Structure 1
């Protein structure tokens, strides 16, 4: 393949994607979001559900949390496919162009954080495998290799990664290796007794649901960056939901099973050896290689979010800067606080996208218009939603902080819009609903 074909155009910036480039179909999105839902960190997140919950309780939390999170993911992706705009630009409709700078900055920080986590676990895992085979260890080199691969993927662009790498090759390897890992974990001694063993009660059920919701929610600020390339709005929504739901349920379940059957510790020092003993070095190496797609998406969307703040900045230069920075930080940190990082992400973005969905589907009923300046009312509601999430998670662990926060801001935004004279400044909604929109697309 020629280099010119490999380095396909990536830089649409924040402008609407031209019609001739809106080519992705249901299977493209199924492959993309199914692939992005498979990763070592998803397995690690699943391990946090037990032994606080029994496996039966954990699996119920996984199904419920995945359903809720993937519906939200598909709905935000729907808006991106309909408007052909990236996610941070969508937020201009509720926050204003200047107001969208704040979530863009937060998104950049969280995406670089995710990239660092990915580099840490990829580098550490590969180093363990190399040491097992050769007896030599070089964590800095193994991490650098993966950082370079991710950078090349970012330069390749979404069309190349999705259609040439994921669709033609990677997704089939992912299915094969994940199936192999599932068989190995289920083949552990006394697995049936472990599956029926009661939990120790240290994690409330709804806290477990929140931990599962946190994973698809972490993709809300990215989903439109890719779904804007959709040929069909309906196919993008269904493909996004189906792909991510299956992957999230599968990998969270493997994570819970892995902890029950191996008694791993939830840091790289205990997590990676447990995977190594369960899957074998070749399967683990392939899983590590597949992790690059997640880091690629983080790097690509971090650059797109930066362009919402600085529209004229060079996208490829951002890929290089973010990759180098993430590598430097990755070689000196530990991911023991990963669970807290997930909960923090959930509190920031679940409420913000609750406002966006209320605005687009209820208030405007499918109409979209960006605004200038800063909408301070929305920022106040957003901050209130974050506070509600944090209060609920700490004081009322028996409730789902994600659902409470989302429902609170969703209802509050609609009430304020309808009963405040400030609402007259907004664009008048069109006369159609999400339901007949789906039937028309």
Structure 2
């Protein structure tokens, strides 16, 4: 009797073969457009007004988006070259045992993201159902949303890629319609001259930090998807254009919608769907926003699953996705408690992951001269990335010092110029110095053109 193959995803931590790297430029562009064009990004843009002016907000959004996208694309390029998921790559910098801590932290952070996304998607779906049928049950729709997320995710990367293409197109159409409605209906000059808060919680530089932190929040996932890109050029161009465009539109839309709503005396809310409904986009916005959050939540659950099986490599991909998805569903039911701490959650991500991925980038491009041995990273047969009994002490010392630096200058004594970019360069600088002093700088000469591996 012929054995029926399992239709679910079998994504693994092993490096991809070249013939598996099929994701083209448009698919990469669409994926990163849909990834950041999401309700939480719009909601973050809403927070900027009226603490800062629309001019300062747009400047922070533009600069933060462009600057933040560069290290994101470079990290993704490591995934394209090696064919490895993001947190598997951290083994090369942190060691074959040292990678466990940042990987588990990443899994927890992604689960937190999924909680927020599940709740926001549930809100949008609840709005659409209530608008159409008069029925409201947020808890039910949070559960149904996460169930759909799990169903898509268990089919692996291909399931993720298919949904992103559709969602990104829908979000672009909605954004054009909303911007046209706003700028042809309301006085733009009044938005420019809006009265600002006398005691603002957010300054222009803090807004800039938040925008960059959003880019860094994707760095722990970028290789999970960009490892499927056809080549470096496809990955870099697709990531830069897709992410920057999404960031400009989503943050900008949030700031502009919030500004006009304040001028019109509307009640402020953290749910952009409610405000969009007052501009005549209620049902359409709810549906499109629901699918945008759904797609981003699929990416978060996918990356959380890949991080988890990086530590527990014997675990089947789809089974791990189901288990983590169940945990994400329960977290989504926390509802308002999630949104109360959303701003601090964003800054926490920056504190934890800017140092970690500054280390990874510097390790790959400077310490290892642009080359990792992907099979060796996974198998550890020659102990190339073993360091000190499996832990790169220099990476950990760097991480701790940089994380303390980031925490102090973000929470205790905020810098006038912001801490995000400075933390990134401080982290990279410390790591290079420590690796040089410990005489662990080297150039690998092994050939990685053929990274085929028996799966």
For normalisation by structure 1, the TM-score amounts to 0.90
* 1:241 to 1:291, Cα distance in 2 relative to 1, 3 A: same
Task: Tell me the residue number matched to 1:408.
Answer: 426
Contact map agreement 2:100 2:311 (CA 8 A) in 1: yes
Q: Which moved more, 1:213-222 or 1:356-365?
A: 356-365
Matching residue of 1:388: 405
Q: Is the 8 A contact 1:40 1:287 kept in 2?
A: yes
Matched, 1:298 2:295: no
CA distance in structure 2 between the aligned counterparts of 1:236 and 1:344, rounded to whole angstroms = 28
Counterpart in the other structure of 1:307: 309
CA–CA separation in structure 2 for the residues paired with 1:325 and 1:235: 35
* Residue 428 (structure 1) aligns with: 443
Deviation of the 1:430 alpha carbon: 5.5
**Distance of 2:9 and 2:145 partners within structure 1:** 20
Contact 1:265-1:271 at 8 Å conserved across structures? no
Deviation string 1:10-50 (CA, Å, 9 cap, x unpaired) is: 32311001222111121111011111111111100111222
Return closer, same or farther for 1:288/1:119 CA change in 2, 3 Å cut-off: same
Match of 1:276 in 2: 277
In 2, Cα distance between the equivalents of 1:84 and 1:281? 41
Instruction: For residue 423 of structure 1, report the CA deviation from its aligned partner.
Output: 2.4
Aligned to 1:346: 350
CA distance in 2, matches of 1:33, 1:272: 22
Moved more, 47-56 or 110-119: 47-56
- 1:118-157 matches, cutoff 5 A: 118-157=117-156
Q: 2:394 touches 2:431 (CA, 8 Å); kept in 1?
A: no
CA distance in 1, matches of 2:110, 2:269: 20
- 1:90-119 deviation digits (Å, cap 9, x = unpaired): 111110021111111111111111111011
CA contact (8 A) 1:77 1:237 kept: yes
**Do the aligned partners of residues 29 and 179 (structure 1) sit closer, same or farther apart at CA in structure 2, a change above 3 Å counting?**
same
Cα pair 1:119 1:147 within 8 Å, conserved = yes
Q: Which runs of 4+ in 1 moved over 4 A?
A: 264-268
Question: Considering only aligned residues, what root-mean-square deviation do their CA atoms show, in Å?
Answer: 2.2
Alignment length (residue pairs): 422
Cα separation, 2, equivalents of 1:123 and 1:186: 30
Once residues 327 and 380 of structure 1 are traced to their aligned partners in structure 2, the CA distance between those partners, rounded to angstroms, is 36
**Deviating more after overlay: 106-115 vs 372-381:** 372-381
CA distance, structure 1, for counterparts of residue 116 and residue 213 of structure 2: 16
Q: State the 1:271 CA deviation.
A: 4.2
Secondary structure class of the residue paired with 1:208: helix
Tell me what 1:379 maps to: 396
Q: Secondary structure at the match of 1:91?
A: helix
Query: In the alignment, which residue of structure 1 is the partner of 2:380?
Result: none
Which SS does the other structure have where 2:186 is aligned?
Answer: coil
Pairing partner for 2:435 from 417, 420, 424: 417
Does the 8 Å CA contact 2:44/2:254 hold for their aligned counterparts?
yes
**How do 1:205-354 and structure 2 match up within 5 A?**
205-263=204-262, 268=270, 271-278=272-279, 279-334=281-336, 335-354=339-358
Question: Deviation of residue 192 (structure 1)?
Answer: 2.4
Contact map agreement 2:274 2:282 (CA 8 A) in 1: no
Quick check: 2:394–2:435 contact (8 Å CA) kept in 1? no
Structure 1 runs not aligned, ≥5 long? 432-441
2:204 is the alignment partner of 1:182: no
> 2 CA distance for matches of 1:132 and 1:92?
49
CA distance in 1, matches of 2:311, 2:295: 25
Distance in 2 separating the partners of 1:429 and 1:412: 22
Say yes or no: does 1:357 pair with 2:364.
Answer: no
TM-score relative to the length of structure 2? 0.87
- Residue 106 of structure 2 is matched in structure 1 by 107
Contact 1:70–1:245 (CA under 8 A) maintained in structure 2: yes
Consecutive unaligned residues of structure 2, counting only runs of 5 or more, are: 378-384, 447-455
Query: Conserved in 2, the CA contact under 8 Å of 1:77 and 1:224?
Result: yes
Shift of 1:332: 2.8
Displacement of 1:190: 3.4
Q: Secondary structure at the residue paired with 2:220? A: coil
**How far apart, in 2, do the equivalents of 1:127 and 1:284 lie?**
9
**Structure-2 change in CA distance of 1:137 and 1:93 (3 Å):** same
Q: Shift in Å at residue 197 of structure 1?
A: 3.1
Equivalent-residue separation in structure 2 for 1:267 and 1:222 (angstroms): 30
Cα distance in 2, alignment partners of residues 188 and 284 from structure 1? 21
